[in-house]
Structure 1
Amino acid sequence: MKITKRYIAAFAALLLSVPAWAQVPAPAAKQSKPVLLKGATLHVGNGTVVENAAVGFDNGKITYAGPQSGANLNGYEVVDVTGQHIYPGLIHTNSSLGLNEIESVRATIDWREVGDFNPNVRSVVAYNTDSDIIPTIRANGVLMTQLTPIGGTVSGSSSIVQLDAWNWEDAIVKADEGLHLNWPAMLIETGNATPDPRLRGRAEAREETLNQLAKLLRDGAVYKSGKHDSENLKLAAMAGLFDGTKKLYIHANYGKEIIEAVNFVKPYGIKDIVIVGARDAMAVVDFLKANNLSVIYSGVHALPGRSEDDVDMPYKTPYLLHKAGVPFALDYDLSIHGIRNLPFIAGTAAAYGLDKEQALASVSLNAAKILGIEKQAGSVEVGKDATLVVSAGDLLDMRTNNVTSAFIQGRKIDLNNKQKFLYDKFDNKYKIDTKGVVN
């Protein structure tokens, strides 16, 4: 077909007609001058609330956080946020954000690799900073996430990223901070008079998987000791497990599986273990405490795991964990679209026993501590990154959450996204005038 000027003009017009939301907003420029937010209620993230507060930051770091009366305004660009609330940027754990775009297109799914044992896989190198989902999540106050690989028995390493970057290298907050182990499900007899012949096969397959895992851990410990002649990328990736510089995240829900998994890995000298999922956490709470285990609890907005459980058991488990003294954070499982509801997960926990500030900590400072980034994130304190959120209402309340501005490492980020564009588009189309008539 002959390409004419008419076709070129038509194609150019088509490109110009693509709405602005089709592209993810460009990352914000580095903070160029000191900023001080004044007049808001400050929710520090560690349980402290300061009325009529001020928060100052310069070069991406918080320089002041406290009563407005004590703030030094000299040299700062003062932003009046009176009547609003300042929170630390929320942190989502156990996430595949940016690793999965279109479910039906294999080339866009980077959250898992072929094979059962992949400790050398690094999820962060596949992170897509241009995901359309990221801006919708930031708009609700979630500014950091833990990129987590899934699949197989040993999935690979997770990394912590902030959600406003040109590429994965710029996004990294902490790289390869933990290894993820999906514990093989236990096989439970149903009590049928005639045993299922398939059960034996599954039991043998599970036993073989555990044998391979034991060998991997054994070889990893030997490799870490320096007793090897050649480089092994899989074993090298596991080295941090044995000196405490890398966490082991065990994904398990069933109480007996949690106990079995921890008892299985501890003899190999693994020092820092976190249980992810933990639906049965309260059934094994004494075991969690005795072994100094932290928990990433995934099931707040879910049905009870057992028929005998209270109907509100998932809602009140965070309070029960707090009451028992078990360190925990909350996540929204691996639903990338649901991450935007992370603050409301914490809000539900607050409605079922947790104090509002304790609930905030479960998605901010507690998460930062579990992930090992509490010295730079998780709370609004002097010396930490200026990663924070300003909301006109209660950030944890779905009815009043209204993020008016957000900063990542001192950079004011663009909060526009596709969902806001669509809301405004159809709000204007079906706008109702004062007489109740659709325009």
Structure 2
Amino acid sequence: MKKTALLLASLLIGGTAWAQVPVPAAKQTTPTLLTGATLHVGNGQVIEKAAVAFDNGKITYAGPAAGFNAGATAYDKVDVSGKHIYPGLILPNSQLGLTEIESVRATLDQQEVGIFNPNVRSVVAYNTDSDITPTLRSNGVLLAQVTPVGGMISGSSSVVQLDAWNWEDALIKADGGIHLRWPGLVQMGDNSPQAQQRKQQRDAGLQQLSALLAEASVYKNQKNDKQNLRMSSMTGLFDGSKKLFIHADYGKEIIEAVRFAQKAGVKNVVIVGGGDALMVADFLKEHQIPVIYSGVHALPARAGDDVYLPYKMPGYLQKAGILFCLDYDASLHGTRNLPFIAGTAVAFGLDKEAALSAVTLNAAKILGVDNRVGSLEAGKDATLIVSEGDLLDMRTNKVALSFIEGRKLNLNDKQKYLYEKFNHKYEVGK
């Protein structure tokens, strides 16, 4: 009996120690008014001494506090004077909820077997109980694009909000785009057997891809008694209801991939990665191709490049007139640093409000959810953050309040729990 009691006690203690994902917040029931803070709308506009009101999960007012009229509505007023209000940050191109511990295979569900998997839906594997998710919310990241990897066509991505019981509740936009991993070019002049083999594999893969897209284009115009999931998953590429996210970095590959997609009849293309986006800026601007830029905290691609080029790239893209947003591809556990990626770009020439747009409104536009999120405007979701200081500066980023669709979030996470635990341990030991 003693052994049994000890075992139960140890299990209970362990469960308490690791149960760090807070219960999702309840639906908003009381109209809320935030007053006195500096409002960063997300579209470049900044309003001092602002007010933001929201009810039933939607923003009803966002502007100067002096211009707000409550009317007959009784608001729960929260004084946030001296603080800053921002839209919830959006993390694109992420395996959040699909990957937990890289060394534990049972926690990995970001990739399907095979080369062409357009019908794979990453969102159905999205784990809302990930320990990583609360750490993102603590830094202001409230939405993410759940993206599969692997093969040439990895599958479809969806946009989710980061406070939900299950993937159905988390959905903001389902299956908004299909992800194509563009095969790298083989270096010219390399006549080695290995290079020739890679070239043959690349050519064969592109031929198969071309045939697959052609078949899907024909399929969309046919009446079929039985649905072909592989084909039907791609029909949205040809009417513009889905985007093709092409993962490519080098300039020649970007141009080749875009032309390939356009020739196949694909309406909307987005470049993910875009290391050489500046080199092909005129081409991207001409064809109105947006970029999810992945390499701010990375080394330059070439030995002769300016060592600070990755830091400066967002500023250059802004000046070139290219619609872009930022992601964090260094590590999944580091994605909570998304605001600081934007902060680095500010330090190297990008306007601060433009940097905010690069992780809010621009991301929302590229992912096709700007009708709901990305900026703080009347009619949009009340998905927002209150920070005690500049959200993009790691020295002053301190999120005091967060709301998703008007629901006030619990901002506890595993890192905060461990800090409190060991702070108590060593304080007691003094």
Q: Shorter-normalised TM-score: what interval? A: over 0.9
Name the CA distance, whole Å, in 2 between partners of 1:21 and 1:350: 37
The Cα RMSD (Å) is 1.5
What TM-score does the superposition give when structure 1 sets the normalisation length? Answer: 0.94
Deviation at 1:250, TM superposition (A): 0.2
How far, CA to CA, are the matches of 2:243 and 2:276 in structure 1? 21
What's 2:156 paired with? Answer: 157
Inter-partner Cα distance in structure 2 for 1:210 and 1:334: 28
Provide the rounded CA distance (Å) in 2 between the counterparts of 1:389 and 1:15.
Answer: 36
Q: 1:41 aligns with which of 38, 42, 45?
A: 38
1:197-236, CA deviations, whole angstroms, 9 ceiling, x for partnerless residues?
1211111111100010000010010001116564211010
Q: Tell me the residue number matched to 1:380.
A: 376
Q: What's the counterpart of residue 421 of structure 2?
A: 425
Write the letter of the residue equivalent to 1:304.
P
- C-alpha distance in 1, partners of 2:273/2:334? 16
Give unmatched runs, 5+ long, in structure 1. 433-437
Q: One-letter code of the match for 1:79?
A: V
> Separation in 2 of the partners of 1:107 and 1:12?
25
Aligned pairs (5 A) from 1:341-360: 341-360=337-356
**C-alpha separation in 2, matches of 1:311 and 1:431:** 44
User: In the alignment, is residue 248 of structure 1 matched against residue 225 of structure 2?
Assistant: no
1:335 shift after superposition: 2.3
Q: 1:63 — aligned with what?
A: 60
Contact 1:93/1:330, CA 8 A, preserved across alignment:
yes
Partner of 2:361: 365
1:173 aligns with 2:172: yes
Paired position in structure 2 for 1:435: none
The CA distance in 2 between the partners of 1:319 and 1:178, in whole Å, is: 27
C-alpha deviations, 1:10-36, integer Å up to 9, x for none? 233223423455331000000011011
Q: Does 1:262 align with 2:262?
A: no
Report the counterpart of residue 185 of structure 2 in structure 1: 186
Preserved CA contact (<8 Å) 2:20 2:412: no
SS of equivalent to 1:176: strand
Rounded to whole Å, the distance in 1 between the matches of 2:98 and 2:290 is 25
- Report the CA distance between 1:431 and its aligned residue: 5.3
The code of the aligned residue for 2:145 comes to Q
Preserved CA contact (<8 Å) 2:57 2:382: yes
CA distance in 2, matches of 1:398, 1:104: 29
- Which residue of the partner structure matches residue 203 of structure 2? 207
Q: Return the alpha-carbon distance in structure 1 between the equivalents of residues 122 and 238 of structure 2.
A: 21
Identify the match of residue 21 of structure 2 among 19, 24, 32: 24
Shift of 1:141: 0.1
| 1:376-431 Cα distance to aligned partner (Å, 9 max, x none) | 00011110000000100110001110001100000001100110111223334445
Q: Which residue of 1 aligns with 2:213?
A: 217
Alpha-carbon distance between aligned partners in 2 of 1:363 and 1:226, rounded to the nearest angstrom: 40
Please give the alpha-carbon distance, in whole angstroms, between the structure 2 residues aligned to 1:316 and 1:170: 38
The CA deviation at 1:196 is 1.4
Select the residue among 47, 51, 56 that pairs with 1:54. 51
Matches of 1:132 and 1:184, distance apart in 2: 33
- The aligned length equals 427
Q: Is the 8 A contact 1:96 1:334 kept in 2?
A: no
* Per-residue deviation, 1:306: 1.2
Structure 1 counterpart of 2:304: 308
CA distance in 2, matches of 1:75, 1:419: 37
Secondary structure of the equivalent of 2:253? helix
Does residue 400 of the first structure (1) align with residue 399 of the second (2)?
no
SS state at 1:375 partner: coil
The reply to whether residue 127 of structure 1 matches residue 119 of structure 2 is no
Corresponding position: 1:145 with 2:144: yes
2: CA distance between counterparts of 1:175 and 1:346? 27
Give the distance between the partners of 2:108 and 2:247, measured in 1 at CA. 20
Query: What amino acid is the match of 1:400?
Result: T
Confirm or deny: 8 A CA contact 1:21 1:417 kept in the other structure: no
Deviation at 1:71, TM superposition (A): 2.1
The alignment partner of 1:282 has SS state of: coil
Q: Counterparts in 2 of 1:327-346, with a 5 A limit?
A: 327-333=323-329, 335-346=331-342
Tell me the CA shift for residue 181 of structure 1: 0.2
For 2:62, give the aligned amino acid: A
Query: Which one-letter code corresponds to 1:39 in the other structure?
Result: G
Distance 1:355 1:207 in 2: 43
State how far apart, in whole Å, the 2-side matches of 1:20 and 1:422 are.
9
Deviation of residue 189 (structure 1)?
3.4
Give SS of 1:57's match. strand
Greater Cα offset, 18-27 or 125-134 = 18-27
Structure 2 Cα separation of the partners of residues 64 and 20 of structure 1: 41
Percent identity reads 63
Cα distance in 2, alignment partners of residues 282 and 25 from structure 1: 42
1:38 to 1:388, Cα distance in 2 relative to 1, 3 A: same
- Distance in 2 (alpha carbons) for counterparts of 1:399 and 1:55: 25
Of the candidates 306, 314, 321, which is equivalent to residue 317 of structure 2? 321
Which residue of structure 1 aligns with residue 105 of structure 2?
Answer: 106
Offset, 1:273: 0.3
What amino acid sits opposite 1:10 in the alignment? Answer: L
Deviations 1:337-392 (A, max 9, x none): 11100000000111111111100000000000001110100011110000000100
